[in-house]
Structure 1
Amino acid sequence: MFDVQRTAVKQSQQLFKQGLSVQRNVDSMALTGLKGQESLQRQQLELAQAMAHSYVDATAAILPGDEPSDAHRVTDETFAQLKTTHAEFYDALERELERDVDTADEFSGEFVDALDDQTHQFLEMTRSVEDQTVESVDELSGQLREQLERTQELQDRLEEQLDQQTGDVATLLERQAEQIEAFQEQLEDQSEAVTRRLENQQSVEAHTKIETDPEHTLESIEGIDESVREQLSEAGIATVDDLVRTDAETITEAADVSESDAEEWIEQAEA
């Protein structure tokens, strides 16, 4: 970018010199074109000044925080001096053209020398700004690299901590899953135990109910007294249902009674 700007300034300088050369030829041919050439060269000076300001602004944009006001001031002072010299030249040229063209050539040479000096100063200033810009960019690049390195280190530490925490969480979840599984097994065991107790309790209650129900006890069988009931109970025959499921021979042996009595008791139980 700096090379492009310097090339543009030098091209403006060459154009301006070419304009002066053309002006000298026109002065030799006709004094009437003097004012037009003065206006044209004035516009060229304004254009060169505007390009210089644009270059300063572009340079300032690359260096955040740098104020372009000093560069603008130097540029304006330089071109103000050029404009003053230009105006003085044309004033003198207008007076002297009618008298002596050689005098105009002398003034033109002085003006060209002044333009070369001012352009040289301006280019030196741009080189200084360029050096500062390159230095600042290098410094900024170094700071950015350091910042990127610190950021990468921080990211690595965060990833390491995240991996560690993830492992801890996974271990904790496994332990909780094992505890939950053991707790479920305990619940299942307790549930089975409660179910068995309930079933046993219901069985006992049902058996107790059958035993205490007068219609199902042996008291309802005619011919079986208390002593016989005790003998049958010792043999596992405590209810009417037990009596129905037992054969006459077993009852005869258990109660020491006749087989006919046993068969009669069975018939009463079945009735």
Structure 2
Amino acid sequence: MFDAQRTAIKGSQQLFTQGLSAQSAVDRLAVTGVNGQESLQRQQLELAQAATHGYVDATTAMFPGEGSADAHRSVDEAFAQLKTTHAEFYDALERELERDADVADEFSEEFVDAFEDGTEQFLELSRSVEEQTVQSVDELSSQLSEQLERTQELQDQLEEQLERQSDDVADLLDRQAEQIEQLQQQLEEQAEEVTQQLQDQQVSAETKIETDPEHTLESVAGIDADVRERLADAGIATVDDLVRADAETVAEAADVSESDAEEWIDQAEA
């Protein structure tokens, strides 16, 4: 990019210098053209003077007299004055054009020198900026590369740490699952033991109630073996069962009167 800019600037400088040189050549050519124009007009004056003398000769031939010499002298004097004026005019014009051309050349040289100096300073500044830019870009690229390397290292470390933590978490979850499974198994075993103990206690209590004379229907007066059998068929096997039953149910099950049933219930409650 910087090389293209410098090439374009140098090309513009060359075109500008060539343009000034062309303008100077045009100015010099204008001076040469003035000289040619002066020579041509001088020749025209010579021809006009000769033609005027011819006209005077023709006139004096038609009208002879002593005025011919005076007429030729007057013509020569008039044309001499005209030639002098003509020469002075073109001399002044040529000097003015040459002076303008010299001034233009001097100005062009000074301007070209100043333009070249400014261009060189700009190109030098451009090279300096390019060097600084390239150096800054190199430094920035180096810093970015280092930063990317550090970032990659940190990312690798983080991935390794996450992998280790994932493994640790997986191991911890496995151990917790095993512990939970063991605890659940222990709880199931304990529940089975408690259930078995409760069942054993219930059976023991029922057996005790059934075998304890104080809890059997034998302790109730008026209830013989046949009545106990009929009551047992109705679900009344102990004193507690009898207390919980009503007189109508007991009377119907034992096939006795309700008054007898009420008496048995009163004995059981006592």
Q: TM-score, normalised by structure 2?
A: 0.49
Greater Rg over alpha carbons, structure: 2
Q: TM-score, normalised by structure 1?
A: 0.49
